[in-house]
């Protein structure tokens, strides 16, 4: 089963795949890799709901539509999803669908649509 696969590939029980977050206006994009949540909090990140970030664990910054679209801090569990299919779009779709099935609401930030080049 899929749950078995995820478990065998390092899924951390009790931890989510990630969080939608608010991106601080002055964020320096040179450091987006795995950092403790305390690092992200100190940089001014909050959950999209306005609440504080978790106090334990680590996350990396994911900006699938750039700084003006939905922004996420993804935990190591996101990489476990990607071990099944390495596409970031696939992993994000699976993660967000799972959240909706579990009763989570929609994203707070609108999904920016790509425009056709002129």
Q: Strand ranges (DSSP E) for the chain?
A: 18-22, 35-36, 46-47, 58-62, 71-74
Cα end-to-end distance, the chain, whole Å: 46
Measured distance CA(6)–CA(24) in Å, rounded: 32
What value does the mean pLDDT take over residues 28-35? 87
CA distance 58 to 94: 20
3-state secondary structure of 83: helix
The pLDDT-based confidence of 111 (bands split at 50, 70, 90) is confident
Mention every residue, 6+ apart, whose C-beta is less than 8 A from residue 34. 58, 59, 60, 76
The pTM of this model reads 0.89
Q: What would the pLDDT profile of 44-74 be if each residue is shown by its tens digit? A: 999 999 899 999 999 999 999 888 889 999 9
The mean predicted confidence, pLDDT, of the chain is 91
């Amino acid at each position: 089963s899929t749950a078995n696969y995820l478990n065998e590939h390092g899924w951390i029980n009790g931890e989510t795949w990630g969080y939608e977050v608010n991106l601080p206006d002055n964020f320096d994009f040179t450091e987006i890799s795995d950092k403790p949540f305390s690092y992200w909090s100190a940089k001014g990140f909050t959950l999209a709901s306005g609440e504080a970030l978790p106090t334990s664990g680590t996350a990396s910054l994911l900006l699938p539509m750039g700084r003006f679209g939905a922004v996420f801090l993804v935990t190591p569990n996101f990489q476990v999803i990607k071990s099944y299919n390495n596409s970031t779009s696939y992993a994000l779709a699976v993660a967000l669908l799972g959240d909706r099935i579990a009763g989570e609401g929609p994203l707070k930030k609108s999904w920016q649509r790509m425009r056709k080049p002129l």
